[in-house]
Amino acid sequence: MKQPTAFAPVLAVKNGTYDIDFYKNAFGAVETMRINNDDGSMHVAEFMIDDALFHLHEITQFSNTVTPLNAHGGTVTIGLLVDDVHAVFDRAVAAGATPTMPVTDFEYGWRQGEFIDPFGHKWTIERKL
């Protein structure tokens, strides 16, 4: 079976992270895999939001991992296309995201709202109008 081409972002989080439920609470993401460290903190986790796959991974000594925290800001914005931008945006804020731009309908034909998740990652929740 041929693997379909898709993006699968890996979001870096600080070492010693135990609670990654933000993604479940904000997006209804389903955790499909997790490997914990000996102390119970998360080493790597895999999530699905409908058909969209992404991973969380802690910083390791073998990589030059840049996180929003050690870079003093995000280096990438994650766009999540959904049917109901307002509902997903509001659920994410209720789950702990910090809004940076309210949901707005833009003249270029997109409805978008932006926030920073509890781990410092910037998200744009959006849909084409």
pLDDT score at 62: 56
Is 46 contained in some domain? yes
Is 86 contained in some domain? yes
Q: Model pTM? A: 0.86
DSSP string, the chain: -PPPP----EEEE-TT----THHHHHH--EEEEEEE-TTS-EEEEEEEETTEEEEEEE--TTS----TTTTTS-S-EEEEE-S-HHHHHHHHHHTT-EEEEEEEE-TTSEEEEEEE-TTS-EEEEEEE-
Q: Are 18 and 42 in contact (CB under 8 A)?
A: yes
Residue range 80-102, pLDDT digits in tens? 999 999 999 999 999 999 999 99
pLDDT band at 12 (very low <50, low <70, confident <90, very high): confident
Residue range 30-50, pLDDT digits in tens? 999 999 999 999 999 999 999
Domain that holds residue 88: 10-128
pLDDT > 70: what percent of the chain?
A: 91
Number of domains the chain contains: 1
pLDDT > 90: what percent of the chain?
A: 70
Q: Are 97 and 115 in contact (CB under 8 A)?
A: yes
Is 50 contained in some domain? yes
